[in-house]
Structure 1
Amino acid sequence: MTAFLHLSNKLAEKGHEIVFLLPKKALDQVKPLNLYPNLITFHTDHTISIPHVKGLPPGAETNSDVPFFLTHLLVVAMNQTRPEEETILRTNKPDLVFYDSADWIPEIAKPVGAKTVCYNTFSAASIVLTLVPAAERIDGKEMSAEELAKPPLGYPSSKVVLLVHEAKASYGGDTRALVLSSMGKTCRETEGKFCDYIGSQYNRPVYLTEPVLPVDEPNKTSLEPRWADWLAKFKPGSVVFCAFGSQPVVDKIDQFQELCLGLEATCLPFLVAIKPPSGVSTVEEALPEGVQERVRGRGVVYGGWVQQPMILDHPSVGCFASHCGFGSMWESLMSDCQMVLVPQHGEQILNARLMAEEMKVAVEVERGENGWFLRQSLEDAVKTVRGEGSEVGEKVRKNHEKWRCVLSDSGFADGYISKFEQNLTDLVKS
């Protein structure tokens, strides 16, 4: 939803009007990011009510409310909002409707004359692997959806139910175009061959947005005092920042503890922002015995939300360890911080491979035979990207700087959004 709002800001900057539909809880979270309230309006009269579905926690409305393995139930709940959304579309009669996984949107948009585009914030590589029709034949062997959903060799099963067939439906039917977001590192410079392949398989034009996470957020300098004061205690580039997104992604307490112990072993100051692992309600309950006393003054593990882009921009932060979600990956590319990758599920694994093996801008933490990482592997990865004299570290630092310069160039971003706007204009007229 954040990606949708950032894209809305870019379109509103060019004078387009946007009506944003989302659950009430999410409205409170993204409304402060609206840079053009005169053009981007939230449909508060008909804020979408997410019905309760058996198995979902009470009040769950977004992915951040549930563990990773329950997100498929949110899809079930969202599908039940169709009557509400039909009413809203009949009232507003938009020219274009952007949607992600609700494959029935084109059906309800067509009667009001609206064109539809499927807006996807996943990397093009992950779409090729799991969704395109030709991917069902690998080395001449028929592959089921369940087989395609398996994690790569060396990773544990995540127990995630991937609704592959439903996702495929979003890309077909009456939808007129597929939109891939650079937020997932999908731009022609990095994934052009995958974009072309997706378009050929679905027989749809593939439009690319510019990087939709703005470099200059409003009030960017206003980092929360508790973190600004804490970070100010340390030397420039000395702090390791570790963040695993808004979803609970670490399923095992022992993996959570290996993460903490690995950061402790670096002997560097560190700040961890992470949801509690499965089975506990707070991060404090899951901490390794004695770690709080041993790292007091130089290490913090926090279970709440933090201003990630602002922390990455702080001069004291020199290394970023992340779960490789699309937002974190883009923000890390645009920062000066060296990158350590600790992917957990699905697309995060593919993102990590793209960054570490294709672009060579980061180091991925090695895993053992059982698929889990150990504290020593995390410590080694951090020291590799930071250490002077490390051949690998020197190489990823140079590559990171090269890509950061390319992607942060204003002409690069402007070129993408201008072409994207023209694509949409042509689609509305067609």
Structure 2
Amino acid sequence: MDSVHLNSESSNIHAVLFPFMSKGHTIPILHLARLLLHRHISVTVLTTPANLPFISTSLSDTASSVLSLPFPENIPDIPSGIESTDKLPSMSLFVPFANATKLMQPHFEQTLNSLPNITFLVSDGFLGWTLDSATKLGLPRLVYYGMNNYAGSISRDAVNNQLISKPISDDEPFTLTSFPWIKLTRNDFGPPFSDPEPKGPYFEFVVEAAISTSKSYGLLVNSFYDLEPKFVDYWNSHSQPKAWCIGPLCLAQELKHKSEPKPKWIDWLDRKQEQGSSVLYVAFGSQAEISEAQLHEIAVGLEKSMVNFLWVMKKKEEELGNGFEERVRERGLIVREWVDQREILGHESVKGFLSHCGWNSAVESLCAEVPILAWPMMAEQHLNARMVVEEIKVGMRVETCDGSVRGFVKWEGLEKMVRELMEGEKGKMVRKKVVEVGQAAKRAMEEGGSSWKELNELINELHGIRPLAH
């Protein structure tokens, strides 16, 4: 089968995709489903009852099958009916939630046994237990984490060379052994990884997931080779399993031009475009927990900056009070609903993104050619922020009041950097650079591009190791 030029050979391939129960982990896997379907590969997506409607709607224009597995009941501390991390009352419940998925294993295996001729399984890195099931059934497992190679490679270098434990303070820079131009701080990792002797349930969960990943067939990365060649090469010469860059996955789905009526925020952006005004998009993802004091500083900083902004907030975040929304209503819109972020970033009026640097958001911004003002909050976002700002130079960083990467951001520092991104010389430089990177991303995904070839090569390889009959 040459570069999966489809039909007779590839139509014998059946992929089962099992995303983690979190929108940020699920959406890229649904984009992957489209890439596979385009190659005439049969696709079955597994999920849970509460997540089924979102996935079924997302794939309603495709030939994929979507099946649900019962989600465990009566999990201590997890309210009944919650089947997705973005619905958790607090991210402190992440580990019990993720560990509870292990109880799905019997149903998972029963479903795999009932499906015809599976060629390979793609499951989320947080569902490490699926390796055991795949091994029992003789299926190659591919792992998806939603991280880039930069974060994985520099973390590996820092851990293996025991660099994290050396600095005296959490904010003292240290130089990476394999990447001497990169300086990090312990605060770029955060607890428990920044602790001298990491321990605890979250650390144990991550170690378990990493071991399961290392024994899997391959690692799917939502990135493209030209974006981070040094880090792809480092990973593939120092780590297992092989990383396959098959992204940016969001480009698998064309931006839909929504039918009428448009959401109110798109109407608002249309009006700004008619006025010739640029807009800053502000969103920190569905997981970050932002204090009331910090929300207040964000509001003041945006108001004082005098830029137009569209701020997507979580429903449960405090009302901003003091007449803020009324005062800024001519140039600021607050949205507390689920939005199509790509539609917003793709709007002609949006010229900057104040972002937590979750990797999906960063990739969507690159593809839309919108520069980033990085404000990392959790997980590997601090490493993503360094990549965006220091490595690929498509963004700037918010100023914290004490210089620490985890410091509090006061309104004065935010106002200054918002103005710089939207109106300053540095803003012009990163805007020019993000156009180059966005164009390169599109080329990688086009027929003959690096990500297009990489996915075909992987499928050919998997097709050659037909699974054991079961």
| TM-score in terms of structure 1 length | 0.86
Q: Of residues 225, 228, 247 in structure 2, which corresponds to 1:191?
A: 228
Cα separation, 2, equivalents of 1:25 and 1:236: 42
CA deviations on 1:373-428 (whole Å, 9 max, x unpaired) are 111222111111221xx332222122112112221237656521233122232134
The one-character-per-residue Cα deviations of 1:166-202 (angstroms, maximum 9, x if unpaired) are 22122223x22222222xxxx2212222223333333
Question: 54, 67, 75: which one pairs with 1:53?
Answer: 75
2-structure distance, mates of 1:158, 1:226: 40
Distance 1:404 1:72 in 2: 35
Tell me the alpha carbon deviations over residues 105-147 of structure 1, each in whole angstroms, 9 at most, x when there is no partner. 22212333321111231122222344x487243249699xxxx
Assess, with a 3 A threshold, how the Cα gap between structure 1 residues 395 and 11 changes in structure 2: closer, same or farther. Answer: same
Aligned with 1:88 (options 111, 115, 119) = 111
Work out which of the residue numbers 211, 228, 233 in structure 1 matches 2:271.
233
Equivalent residues of 1:237, 1:315 under 8 A apart: no
Q: Secondary structure at the match of 1:213?
A: helix
Shift of 1:12: 0.5
Q: Name 2:217's counterpart in structure 1.
A: 176
SS where residue 310 of structure 1 aligns?
helix
Task: Indicate the larger mover: 217-226 or 27-36.
Answer: 217-226
Q: Which moved more, 1:15-24 or 1:212-221?
A: 212-221
Shift, 1:13, TM fit:
0.4
| Alignment match of 1:19 (pick from 36, 44, 48) | 44
- State the AA in 2 paired with 1:332: S
> 1:322-343 CA deviation, whole Å, 9 max, x = no partner?
1111111111112243321111
Instruction: Tell whether 2:150 aligns with 1:125.
Output: yes
Find the partner of 2:437 among 403, 423, 430: 403
User: Which amino acid in structure 2 is aligned with residue 171 of structure 1?
Assistant: T
- Choose the corresponding residue for 2:354, options 321, 327, 352: 321
> 1:9 corresponds to which residue?
34
TM-score w.r.t. length of structure 2: 0.79
Q: 1:253 aligns with which of 289, 292, 307?
A: 292
Q: Does the CA contact (< 8 Å) of 1:210 and 1:413 recur in 2?
A: no
Is 2:371–2:431's contact at 8 Å kept on the other side of the alignment? yes
Report the 3-state secondary structure (helix = DSSP H, G, I; strand = E; otherwise coil) of the residue aligned with 1:206.
Answer: strand
1:218 shift after superposition: 5.7
Alpha-carbon displacement from aligned partner over 1:269-296 (angstroms, at most 9, x marks no partner): 22111215xxxx3x4x341423123213
Match 1:274 to one of 307, 313, 317: 313
Q: Could you say what secondary structure the match of 2:141 adopts?
A: strand
**Structure 1 residue 213 displacement after superposition:** 0.1
Alignment counterpart, residue 159 of structure 2, candidates 135, 140, 163:
135
1:77 to 90, 100, 107: 100
Q: Judging changes above 3 Å, is the alpha-carbon distance between structure 1 residues 167 and 315 closer, same or farther for their aligned structure 2 residues?
A: same
- 3-state SS, counterpart of residue 144 of structure 2: strand
Q: Percent identity?
A: 26
Does the 8 Å CA contact 2:346/2:368 hold for their aligned counterparts? Answer: yes
1:392 aligns with 2:426: yes
Pair 50,197 (structure 1): closer, same or farther in 2 beyond 3 Å:
farther
1:52-82 per-residue CA deviation (whole Å, 9 max, x = no partner) reads 4212233221121123332222211111111
Q: Does 1:352 align with 2:385?
A: yes
2:71 aligned partner, one-letter code: S
Instruction: Give the CA deviation at 1:237.
Output: 4.3
Q: Is 1:98–1:118's contact at 8 Å kept on the other side of the alignment?
A: yes
Q: Is the 8 A contact 2:446 2:452 kept in 1?
A: no
Match of 1:43 in 2: 67
C-alpha separation in 2, matches of 1:360 and 1:133:
22
Matched, 1:242 2:266: no
| 3-state DSSP of counterpart to 2:276 | coil
Q: Does 2:409 correspond to 1:373?
A: yes
1:116 alignment partner in structure 2: 141
Shift of residue 301, structure 1, vs aligned partner: 1.9
Rate the CA distance shift 1:268–1:347 in 2: closer, same or farther, 3 A.
same
Partner of 1:214: 251
Contact 2:370–2:431 under 8 Å retained in 1: no
What CA distance in whole angstroms lies between the structure 2 residues aligned with 1:84 and 1:411? 35
C-alpha separation between the residues in 2 aligned to 1:264 and 1:157? 31
Q: What displacement does 1:305 show? A: 0.8
- Deviation of 1:8 (Å): 0.9
Distance 1:404 1:392, change over 3 A: same
Indicate the larger mover: 413-422 or 255-264. 413-422
Give the counterpart letter for 2:27 in structure 1: T
Q: How many residues align?
A: 405
Does the Cα contact within 8 Å between 1:360 and 1:396 map onto a contact in 2? yes
Residue 363 and residue 82 in structure 1: after superposition, are their counterparts in 2 closer, same or farther (change >3 A)?
same
> Equivalents in 1 of 2:97, 2:220: separation in Å?
23
Partner of 1:147: none
Tell me by how many angstroms 1:214 deviates. Answer: 2.2
What residue in structure 1 maps to residue 331 of structure 2?
298
**Retained in 1: the 8 A contact 2:357–2:384?**
yes
Task: Give structure 1 stretches of 5+ with no counterpart.
Answer: 144-150
Q: Deviations over 1:311-370 (max 9, x none)?
A: 222222222211111111111112243321111112111111101111111111011227
CA contact (8 A) 2:123 2:143 kept: yes
Structure 2 gap segments, 5+ residues each:
1-25, 168-183, 193-200, 466-470
Write the distance in 2 (CA, Å) between the matches of 1:372 and 1:212.
33
Q: How far, CA to CA, are the matches of 2:354 and 2:211 in structure 1?
A: 35
